[in-house]
Amino acid sequence: IVGPNLYWLLTTAHVKEKMNSFLKREGRVIEALITDPKARHSHKAWHSTMLTSGEYTHLKHLRRSIQAFQELRNQHGQRLDIRLAPHIPLGAWFVDPDGRDPLLVLTPIVSFGHKSDERPQLMFRQSQHPAAYRYYWSNLHELAFRDLSRRLLDESNTVTRFEKYAGPIGTFVGKA
């Protein structure tokens, strides 16, 4: 799951309950990527580009999301892997990425408003658009789970330091 703060996901009761239920099953893991709260340039970008009602602040929602992730992490431990990156320009949900025909839901965010129902979504299965699926999977997975990001919580529940970035962000992995 990728998004600037994933606030809706973490603060909507029925969605949070489904996440809890999912994580209680054996072998289930959730990997997520959100904006690093220390990335001031990202918060300024969201503030200047989002259509807001005046109440919205990206950093406020990000902090609430981090608290909710910490609560989930306390319940489920290592089955919840949350990473932080300098800027997240879109939302992406990879549904069952290890399955036979994974699903990807992409949500552009900039200038479409801060509520999920105000944004368009693009949804497709790997079998429908294999090159596009591989492109988003490889690049977002590279960003999230390689060297550019840092973990929200390590095993001792403390924020870890940035790791050294080891490769280009736009690298395409796999055949087109």
pTM of the model: 0.74
Q: What is the pLDDT of residues 61-76, one digit of tens each?
A: 888 888 888 888 888 8
Q: What is the pLDDT of residues 23-53, one digit of tens each?
A: 998 888 888 888 888 888 887 777 666 655 5
pLDDT band at 55 (very low <50, low <70, confident <90, very high): low
Between 159 and 54, name the one with better pLDDT. Answer: 54
User: Of the ranges 56-70, 90-104, 115-129, 137-151, which one carries the lowest mean pLDDT score?
Assistant: 137-151
- Residue 101: predicted pLDDT: 95
Spatial distance between the Cα atoms of 121 and 107, rounded to a whole number of angstroms:
5
φ, ψ of residue 49 in degrees (nearest 5) = -110, -15
pLDDT band at 11 (very low <50, low <70, confident <90, very high): confident
Spacing of C-alpha 45 from chain mean position: 17
- Residue 126: predicted pLDDT: 96
96 touches 31 (CB < 8 A): no
